[in-house]
Amino acid sequence: MNVIKAKDRLELEKKIPQMPWYVEKFMNYKLPDLSPSSLLEYARDYEAFFGWMLAEGLAEGASRIQDIPITALEKLHMESIDHFKMFLSMRKTQANTRTTISRKLSSLRSLFHYLSQIAEDENFYPLLKRNVMAKVEIKRTHKPKDTAAKLEGKLLQEAEISEFIDYIKAGYGQDVSNNKQATYAYEINKTRDVCIVSLILNSGLRVSEVVNLNIEDVDMKKKLLYVFRKGKNDETFKTPVYFRQDAVDELTRYMELRAATYKAPKREKALFLAVANGKKEGERMTKRAIQEMVVKYAKRFGKPYLSVHKLRHSFATDYYLRNDLYRTQEQLGHASPETTQIYAHLTDKTMSEAIDKQKDGTEG
């Protein structure tokens, strides 16, 4: 079972009763098509919006989010939505980026569309008589070319991929040799950490997909991993994803010492384990632990901007240079080829630099 989805489902089940009845109706409508993780994002967006409505006195005397009547939504003006956008962008803590604001507005538009165009009362009239969100223009905040521009210079190029893996194998240990605590933790987890980074850089897995991997999800002979793909709501099907030969040795080493190093009980099927402070048995690594692990090595390596997701981007750019758009889309699990076009823009620059280097080498 997808552990992240299971956790998100539990949180979603706690949040839904705290929402107005019409939001719960919308969630039930979306449930067959969206994963618990996606619905939880909707719930968080609505929580922020309805909380803002209460604070602004736009909820007709309601004191709790679940008590906000649907008529309060009908009375919202365009000016109210503008104020909400300003609230999201200006708040002192957890200020939102333009991309996040657009996503939150899209969540609202989905709810308002459902209430005004799909859901009906007992007389077959729309539940929402007036839809202010239909007037709201949500500008696209990032095009593939823009995303590519932001990533330029922040990814590992061909030679750097192996250099980063080699650094985790030995270089980091030399850099922290004077720190006994860091050295101790490094020696215990080095093989595991190398394996995780190598696997991402040789398959393009998302961090959530790495977290959810179980031992039986690895087929060493076929060089396949079976993962729960983002956006897929079928929890009975795992998508096969290939990994390169370069990751085979690291996976083999880690799996040979997994049980002895992390002393996991037999019932623990997770591939990647960690022993939490105060505990004796290993358990599934968390998403945050993997993210922090990558950042730790990246800073010492001299690339503090590297993250798990940028490792995925690094693989994708390298993979796209050797394959086509369709194969890259399949390997990464993108729902739309438009997302994959990021790497087309990134490789334009990579190819031009490679040609220049070749020219410099031949004419020297």
Catalytic residue ranges: 206, 230, 309, 312, 334, 343
What is the rounded radius of gyration, in angstroms, for the C-alpha atoms of the chain?
A: 24
3-class DSSP string for 169-196: HHHHHHHCCCCHHHHHHHHHHHHHHHHH
For residues 28 and 24, what is the distance between their CA atoms, to the nearest angstrom? 6
For residues 155 and 313, what is the distance between their CA atoms, to the nearest angstrom? 7
Tell me the residue type at 9.
Answer: R
Query: Residue 328: which residues within 8 A CB-CB, separation 6 or more?
Result: 316, 319, 320, 340, 343
Which parts of 98-218 fold into alpha helices (H)? 98-113, 144-151, 158-166, 172-175, 180-201, 207-212
Dihedral sign computed on CA atoms, order 338, 133, 17, 29 = negative
Query: Which pairing describes strands 273-274 and 239-242: parallel, antiparallel, or unpaired?
Result: unpaired
Query: Residue 120: which residues within 8 A CB-CB, separation 6 or more?
Result: 126, 127
